[in-house]
Every structure is written in C-alpha cells, then in structure tokens.
Amino acid sequence: MKLLRAYLNGGWVDLPTPAPENYEFQSEWREKSFRDSNQYLHRDMIRKIRKVNCGWNALTGDETALLDSLYDLESFTLECTDNRNNRVQMKVYAGPISAKAKMMNKSTLAITLRTDVSMNFIEF
C-alpha cells in the first residue's frame, strides 16, 4: 500500500511517495476568538482543517503530470497517514505544484525529470 492514494474516476490511484523528511500532516482549528471587557478570552471553535504538505526529491515527467492533473480537479478523496499513524480518508483539493526541471529530452523538449517538487492537499 502506498502512503498517498487518490480516489479518481471510480478507483484508487497510487500517488508518488514523498521523501520521508518532506511529509507533514497538519491539523488546525478555524476559530473566532475575542476578549470581552473583563479581558476573558472566548474561543468559538468553528471547524478543524487538515492539510498534507508533501515534497519529493525527484519525479519523472509522468509522476509530475499525475500530480499536476490533481490541481485541475475541484476536489477528490485522498487517503494518507495522520499524525497518530491512522489511515484516513478526506475530501481535499490540491494546491499548485512547484518543481524544477532537471533533465530534458533535447529532441522533443519534454522534461523527463523534475527535482525539489512540492505540493499540498487541503481539506475541502
């Protein structure tokens, strides 16, 4: 089983595995906080947002294209591992991909290898 999987077109698709040092599962609360006239803090917890930040040392052109195609989707289901080592599924959208071209096919000008690739997935 892969660390990251996306449910696309009726089936699970394995995504490239990020470098271990570049995988981060974040959970944060969206809240409305304020202090009243007596300086008491009031926190209204709206909802919890989860985000997965990923980085890859190197990806092939096909792997980069797969990740880039996720950015075009309004949302999809991502399966990943959270901070408690549980496998979780969440509805997400993909942030933009960032990558540097490393190798290029001189005859077709196709980029065959990208390095320092990063992308995040944000709960919908």
Residue 103 has pLDDT above 80, yes or no: no
Q: Domain total for the chain?
A: 1
Nearest to 50 by CA among 82, 87, 16: 82
Classify residue 69: in a domain, yes or no.
yes
Classify residue 39: in a domain, yes or no.
no
Domain span at 21: 5-29+51-123
The arithmetic mean of pLDDT across residues 11-38, rounded, is 91
pLDDT, tens only, 9-22 = 999 999 999 998 99
Classify residue 41: in a domain, yes or no.
no
Residue 34 has pLDDT above 90, yes or no: no
Classify residue 42: in a domain, yes or no.
no
pLDDT score for 72: 95
